[in-house]
Amino acid sequence: MELIFILAAFIAGLVVIKCHLPPLVGFLITGFALHAYGYESNHTINQLADLGVTLLLFSIGLKLDIKTLLSKEIWVSATVHNILCTLMFTLGLLALKFLGLNSLAVLSLGQLVLIGFALSFSSTVFAVKSLQEKGEMNAIYGTIAIGILVMQDIFAVIFLSASTGKLPEWYAVLLFLLPFLRPVLYKIMDWVGHGEMLVLFGIFAALVLGGGLFQLVGLKPDLGAIILGMLLSGHSKTSELAKSLFNLKEMFLVCFFLNIGLSADPTLTGLLLALLLLLLLPLKGALYFWLLHKHHLRVRTSLLATLSLFNYSEFGLIVAGLAFKMGWLPNDIMVTIAIVVPLSFIVSAPLGRQGHALYQKTSQWLKPQSIEQLNPKDGIINPGNAQVLILGMGRIGSGAYDELHERYGNICLGIELTPDASELHQSEGRNVITGDATDPDFWERILVKEHVKLVLLAMPHNQANRVALDLLKEHQFNGHIAAIAEYNDQKAELIEAGAHAAYNVYNEAGTGFARHVCEELKTEFSAHS
């Protein structure tokens, strides 16, 4: 039976990918189709589905940046949106109930609020994949959208943890000691190295330390998974661990989406209600835009973030699935949410792909913020009197900065991706700001004036340098552009794409190293022909 599930899910996933939709749409459809042919879920599918949700929450914990979440435009927007959106959907469902919609007629106010809460979330999986495809994960609007989604995920985890209705054991207070174990967990991460041992450690942390300990004291394992992820989030191997677990988590989540379809009976009433809820989606999007605009973000940032969040969520499915399992919601409602989520993806996908074009067409009708009122994170960047921009302040970028500063004085402005790295350079006396040169937003915000004569592309990855080069050309930069490359074919590509000069990192490093040794040591050699 499992082989049939895998085959059907693979074919359906392949079809929806060709339609430029997330594979989970195909997995949900597969579940409904298999259920219609008499197939049902089983213990194995249920177990794997639970593992998928646990690893998803653990992965979210690994990516949590508390500083980001504490930004007002994120935590205030997420909280207010969740409350207002739940209220909006509850009122909408009440109106439909009084209009005589059969599937809502027997539901209490509490049940309607629960449905509204499930619909208030936006899809983390959909947004992340969409941003990755466009290469805009680090764009300002992308980080804001992801921050709001993480806050929503936390709300969902709190609900899942409280859903049992049971008080935890008295010794649950010992869990407050977990942060003191962080150095021990870090040391273990150092010991396990890479590869399969790192993956095994991640599973151990999520399922045993997180899920097992929290279940032992009467709390939901899901809450334990996200907290353990947060405890590990500052380690240097966090990103590697998240990438290592990614495919495993995605495979188990296939079972979760299959399970939704296998557990519910599709009904015409459920489909009709799903179509009605789809009509309320623009109100959800308008609420996002209004809240972000209130935090003085540029119209472009607010609009693109809204389009990334313009959908219903797999977490809504998780919440509704638990409510259905516990008898709080009837089958029709479970079917409705399972249908409206993939429908919202079908609507959201083309809007997200055309986000920049939509902004160009609608910006004239949307009221912009004045420059003085703009949020500092989204404000205009003035490079001052800098004549050289250095994109990427790693060892090569820092070396170039110091050499130019020694020769010509204070003519450089360095651009570094993370605030911590920027602050470190600033403490060492360099003129460095935080920015992402691969983000189209960055080039919209920075005032590259005529006195900027040279841009050095010194980021560690060739793809990033290539993207920045394309954006510079797109914004009609008239100065010179020089780039670094790891391989000679990359040098040729950069020159062909418009760079005026490109340098092989290893060749240049070897030449410079030999020159430096000869100058410093003054070793005398005998020449040979």
The helix-helix angle for 314-325 and 109-119 (nearest 10°) equals: 150
* Beta bridge pairs of residue 415: 391, 433
CA distance 201 to 118: 32
Three-state DSSP state, 57? helix
DSSP string, 230-288: HHHTTSTTHHHHHHHHHHHHHHHHHHHHHHHHHHS---HHHHHHHHHHHHTHHHHHHHH
**What is the pLDDT at residue 291?**
92
Task: Report DSSP state, residue 387.
Answer: S
Q: Which two tokens stand for residue 500?
A: 């005026």
Name the helix (H) or strand (E) containing 26: helix 23-36
As a whole number of angstroms, the distance between CA 350 and CA 19 comes to 10
- Predicted TM-score (pTM) of this structure: 0.69
Of 3.40.50.1240, 3.90.700.10, 3.20.20.80, 1.20.1530.20, the CATH number of 46-363 is 1.20.1530.20
**Residue 449 confidence (pLDDT):** 61
Sequence-ordered list of residues with C-beta below 8 angstroms from that of 469, at least 6 positions apart, any chain? 457, 481, 483, 494, 497, 498, 499
- Angle at CA of residue 469, ends 455 and 443, nearest 5°: 75
Q: Tokens 């197939």 identify what position?
A: 39
pLDDT, position 119: 92
Measure the CA–CA gap between 434 and 140, rounded to whole angstroms. 12
CA distance 476 to 490: 23
3-state class (DSSP) for residue 208: helix
Domain layout of the chain by residue ranges = 46-363, 380-521
The residue with tokens 């309607």 is 112
Using the structure block, give the residue that is written with the tokens 């509204």: 116
Dist. CA 156–CA 365, nearest whole Å? 36
- Residue with structure tokens 């391989």? 487
CB 422 within 8 A of CB 358: no
Which residue matches tokens 């989606």? 281
Compute the distance between CA of residue 494 and CA of residue 484 in angstroms, rounded to an integer: 9
The CA distance from 329 to 322, in Å, is: 9
Question: Which one, of 283, 260, 252, lies nearest residue 336 by Cα?
Answer: 260
Residues across the chain: 529
At 199 the pLDDT is 87
What is d(CA 488, CA 502) in angstroms, rounded to the nearest whole number? 9
Cα 358 to the center of its chain, rounded Å? 22
Alpha helices in 264-388 (DSSP H): 268-279, 281-294, 299-308, 314-325, 331-353, 355-362
d(CA 92, CA 251): 36
- Collapsed DSSP state (helix, strand, coil) of residue 483: strand
C-alpha 417/C-alpha 65 separation (Å) is 15
Alpha helices (H) in 63-123, listed in sequence order: 66-69, 72-98, 102-105, 109-119
* Rounded Cα distance, 70 and 84, in Å: 20
Tokens representing residue 163 in the block: 């859903």
Q: How many CB atoms lie within 10 A of CB 236?
A: 9
pLDDT at 290: 92
SS3 state of residue 504 = strand
Q: Dump the DSSP string for 433-453.
A: EE--TT-HHHHHHB---TT--
Distances (CA, A) of 164 to 90, 167, 170, 179, 472: 23, 9, 16, 25, 55
Please report, in tens digits, the pLDDT of each residue of the chain (529 residues total): 677 888 888 888 888 888 877 777 788 788 878 887 877 778 888 888 888 878 877 887 787 667 777 788 888 999 999 999 999 999 988 988 888 777 788 888 888 898 899 899 998 777 877 776 676 766 778 888 888 988 887 787 777 767 666 667 778 788 888 888 888 988 988 898 888 888 898 888 888 888 888 888 877 777 788 888 888 887 878 878 888 887 788 788 888 778 777 766 667 777 888 888 999 999 999 999 999 988 888 788 888 889 999 999 877 777 777 777 777 888 778 888 888 887 888 888 788 877 777 776 776 676 666 555 666 666 677 777 888 999 988 888 888 898 888 888 888 899 887 777 888 899 999 999 888 787 776 777 777 766 788 899 988 778 778 888 988 888 888 888 988 888 888 888 889 888 888 888 777 666 666 666 666 666 565 555 5
Task: Give how far the C-alpha of residue 79 lies from the chain's centroid of Cα atoms, to the nearest Å.
Answer: 18
What's the rounded Cα separation, in Å, for the pair 106 and 78? 31
pLDDT of residue 371: 55
pLDDT of residue 229: 87
Name the nearest CA neighbour of 275 among 220, 326, 205, 346.
346
Q: Distance between CA atoms of 17 and 4, rounded to whole angstroms?
A: 20
Is CATH 1.20.810.10 the right assignment for the domain spanning 380-521? no
Tell me the one-letter amino acid at 326. M
- In the numeric block, the tokens 């029709």 are attached to 332
Q: Where are the beta strands (DSSP E) in 99-143?
A: none
CA distances from 4 to 11, 23, 41, 101 (A): 11, 17, 12, 37
